[in-house]
Structure formats: C-alpha cells, structure tokens
Amino acid sequence: MTYEKIYDIVKQKFSGVYLNRFIHMEGVVKMALRLNEHHGLNLNPEKVKLAGLLHDYAKIIKISELEEVIRKEYSGELLENILEVPATYHSFAGAYYIKRDFNIDDEEILDAVIYHTTGKKDMAPLTKLIFISDYIEEGRNFESALIARQVAFEDLDLAVVKVYELGIKKVQKANQKLFKGTEAIYKYYLERMNLKNWNC
C-alpha cells in the first residue's frame, strides 16, 4: 500500500473528534522529516513518514482491547511492566494494528511505533527520531517541548536525554507511575553523553 493510500485511510479514521490526534500525527511526520534532513541522517523518507503517521494509530482503540492484544503479544517481565502503565498500551500494541491493517512488517517502523512512548537503550535512528519528534512537534507548545525542540536541532542524543529528563519530571509531578526501567535508561543516555546531570 502506498503512503498516500495509508494517509487517506488514517485521515478518514481520525476525522471528527479525533482530528486533533491526526494533526499531532502529521506534526510528528513533519518534525521527523525536518530532523532527518537537518542532521543528515539519510533515513528513507517514506519510512520516516510511515512511522510518524502511524505511531499513534492505536491511540483511539479501547484500552480493554489494547490490553487483550498486549497479553497475546508480550510475556514475562515486559508484559508485567507494560500492564502497569496503560499510557504505554497504544505504543506496544500499535505494531499489531499497523501489521494487520496495512501489512507493514518493516522492523524499523514497527520498532519506532512500539517504543515511541518509553524509548529504550541504544535506540535505532528511526526509533530515536520518532521518540523525540513525538515530544517536540510544532503542535506541542508547552514550555518543556520548546526547550527540547531547541536541543533537538543541536544534538539528537542530547535531545533524548532532555526528553527523558522532562518526561520523568512530568510523570513524577503528576504522581503517575513511571514505566519500569525508565530511570535506568535515562542514566544510560546520560553516561553515554558523559553527563552527570543535566539541566539547561
């Protein structure tokens, strides 16, 4: 299926009350394409567009249905960790739906969709790009997004650190549950950048 065809289907599906979500998904496509170009990443633009557009494809599906998919697709400790944080369901179940509806089996695209909420250690370039773009696309105009956006055009790895830092703070402030291992991943990126702590 071509990108244009997929775009039309997604647009149709996300019309009406879901329009803002669609605008966000388009925002991620635009930001990811810009960063790909700006940093000379040379990622296939078609893949960047698909990962950006489809990263939140499962966001409008009922949480109980997402949970069912997750229980089928994951097991062990990872399953336990996912089940603790419903906000991650649409990303971990997302791959299932885009495979089912669009026949997408490209591992890089699927990985980018699955990890766009939590990120992970040693992210592949496309996964990193979507992880950052999701936080900083132009529609996100809260202050931390503006800070992270500035960093993203300077250095993508620093942007990963920043997105984690800001994301962890936000979850803690809201008294929500942090996805297990997130602080360890944040530390891993800090150490990789030779940073002890970072606040800009």
Residues of this chain that bind Fe ion (CB under 5 A): 56, 134
Q: Which DSSP symbol is given to 134?
A: H
24 vs 162, which CB is nearer to Fe ion?
Answer: 24
Q: Which DSSP symbol is given to 196?
A: S
Q: Which DSSP symbol is given to 137?
A: S
Contact criterion met (CB below 8 Å) for 99 and 65: no
For residue 179, give the 3-state DSSP assignment.
Answer: coil
Q: Shortest approach of Fe ion to residue 191 CB, angstroms?
A: 27
89 vs 186, which CB is nearer to Fe ion?
Answer: 89
The amino acid at 94: G
Contacts of 159 (CB under 8 A, 6+ apart): 132, 136, 148, 151, 152
Q: Shortest approach of Fe ion to residue 64 CB, angstroms?
A: 18
134 vs 165, which CB is nearer to Fe ion?
Answer: 134
Nearest to 60 by CA among 105, 29, 99, 16: 16
Q: Shortest approach of Fe ion to residue 195 CB, angstroms?
A: 26
108 vs 190, which CB is nearer to Fe ion?
Answer: 108
Sign of the dihedral through C-alpha 59, 60, 61, 64? positive
Q: Shortest approach of Fe ion to residue 28 CB, angstroms?
A: 6
92 vs 189, which CB is nearer to Fe ion?
Answer: 92
Q: Shortest approach of Fe ion to residue 18 CB, angstroms?
A: 13
